[in-house]
Structure formats: structure tokens, C-alpha cells
Amino acid sequence: MPSFDCPPSCPFVAAQDPALSFPVGQLRRVARAGVDGEEVDETKRNVLKLLAVAGLIGAAGGGLVGGTLQYVQPPVVGISSYPRTQLVDLDGSPLTVTKVESEYNVGTSSDLIFYYPLQNEPNFLINLYPINGQPPTASNPGAQNVPGGVGTNGSIVAYSAICQHLGCPAPAISYYPPGTCPQTPGGKVFYIHCSCHGSTYDPSNSASNLTGPAVLPLPQVVLDVDSDGVIFATGMNGPPVNGHLSTLQGDYGVGTTSQLSKESPVILCSFPS
């Protein structure tokens, strides 16, 4: 019989007397005569009882925990494919290329936001063509024929308005027209800037990352113009929208139309250029 180094405060009282102790604590080894005169090993019997009870408790507990884990993960809300969504102007009329090109330009300061493909995924709609309607030059800021751009000059683009760094949505992330701030990140005078942690994106180049902690570009909305000049959103390119398990999961779809809204941007010029 092994002896145990047990202090006077040892919780297993039986362990203090080696004659009565067994490694599993208080299961006493008592041999006694069975019905047919054979010795019955009580320790063996107690260990088996212990295992049976532990197994039952484990099975019941495992079932409860497993069930709870399932319960707290409801079916994810989402859509299975990108809808073809018609954009609707602020006044409720269909948004056309003509209207965008006449009313909005590179200098439009209040952001135009529409939700696509889900109801909690805001996107910027930006026309990068210069204010004066002349082709862009170094002294006439603006851009044309940009990647994914639609319209007469290929200057109408749309990007996710949720920052790819830590998920700040519009208006914390905003479009900065030329002259908004003295900084020119990456030599750009107009850009998308997030006030949360200072990430800056280039709207004339697929919203690639210019400065700041974010490393990924903003997801770009695929725009399509029909024969009447009406603008549709038909899909998204780039990384998944931030804060979502995937771009198509995490809320209900917007359906066949999505109306623009104006927002007041948060302008914060205190970032290093």
C-alpha cells in the first residue's frame, strides 16, 4: 500500500491512514465475503459505479451544452446571389446617367449613399468628372475612364461605405472632394477618408488603399447602365464588406430598387499626409 504525503489539512481524511486509503480518494478497499464465499472487491465496484455516474452526467451535460451552442447560432440572414437593383434618386425618380452627370461631380461634398446588396451595407455613389465639365488635368482635378466607371466619361463609381480597417460605416468614412483638407495622400487631392483610424482610399483606382492602417481596398459595386441611361447595381468586387461573414450574409436584401440618401460627412483633416 503506498503512503501519501498529506498535510493535516488534507481534504481526503481517509488518505491520512494508508491502511484505509486508495489513490482515487475515499474509495475504501474492503474485502468481504460474497454469497458464495468469494471475496468481493468493493473498490472495483465503487470505481465502476463512479464511472457509470460520471458517464451519465457527462452525456447529459454534453447534450445540454451542445444544444445551447446550437440555440445561440440562429440561421444567418442573407441572400444567395447579387440582385440587379435599380438605383433611385433622392426625389424618387430613377437615377440616370444624365442626372448624375448634371448634378453631381468630383466636388460634390455631401455623400450620396445607397444600400446594396443588403440593407445594412451602405455604398458611396461618386461622379469623379471635374466640376467645370472639362476633361481632367493637373489643374482641373477629377478623373475619367476609371476602373469600373460608367457613364459618358466612365467616371461614375460606387464603393462600399464601410471602412476595411475596423468597420466604421458612413458618415464616419466619407468622400473628401478636392480642397477639403490640405493633405494629399499619395498625391491625390480627392479621396475617401475614414475618421476612425485615418485610412485613406483612392476612388479613381478601385478604392485601393492610399494611407492608413487598412491594407485592403474598399469593395467596389459593379454598375450597369441600361439603354435608357438608368443605373443598376449588379454585384460587388473586391474583399467582403467589413463586419460581415460574407458580403451576401448579415441582413435582408435590398430588393429590386435602392434609394439614394444624402449624408453629412465627418470631416477630420488632422491626419498625416
Q: Which stretch binds another protein (CB under 8 A): 47-55, 94-102, 230-238, 242-250?
A: 242-250
Q: Binders of another protein among 48-77, rule CB under 8 A?
A: 72-77
- In the three-class reduction of DSSP (H, G, I as helix; E, B as strand; rest coil), residue 173 is classed as strand
Q: Which stretch binds another protein (CB under 8 A): 12-20, 42-50, 53-61, 237-245?
A: 237-245
For another protein, the binding residue among 168, 192, 241, 254 (CB under 8 A) is 168
Instruction: Identify which of 213, 103, 119 has the alpha carbon closest to the alpha carbon of residue 156.
Output: 103
Cis ω on the peptide bond leading into residue 178 (within 30° of 0)? no
Secondary structure element (H or E) that encloses residue 69, with its range: helix 42-71
Q: How many residues bind another protein (CB under 8 A)?
A: 45
Which string of x and - marks every residue 127-156 that binds another protein (by CB under 8 A)?
------------------------------
**How far apart are the C-alpha atoms of 230 and 103, rounded to whole Å?**
15
Residue number, 122 or 136, with CB nearest to another protein: 122
DSSP string, 16-46: GSTTT-BTTBS----EEE-TTS-EEEHHHHH
For another protein, the binding residue among 130, 217, 250, 253 (CB under 8 A) is 250
**How far apart are the C-alpha atoms of 97 and 92, rounded to whole Å?**
15
Q: Which stretch binds another protein (CB under 8 A): 43-51, 59-67, 140-148, 167-175?
A: 167-175
Query: Should residue 242 be labelled a site residue for another protein when binding is judged by CB under 8 A?
Result: yes
Q: Which stretch binds another protein (CB under 8 A): 126-134, 161-169, 219-227, 231-239?
A: 161-169
The DSSP symbol for 161 reads: S
Give least dist CB 200 to another protein, A: 9
**How far apart are the C-alpha atoms of 191 and 177, rounded to whole Å?**
7
The Cβ-side half-sphere exposure at 243, using a 13 Å CA radius, reads: 16
Task: Give contact residues for another protein (rule: CB under 8 A).
Answer: 72-78, 111, 113, 120, 165-172, 174, 194-198, 211-213, 242-245, 249-252, 261-266, 268, 270-272
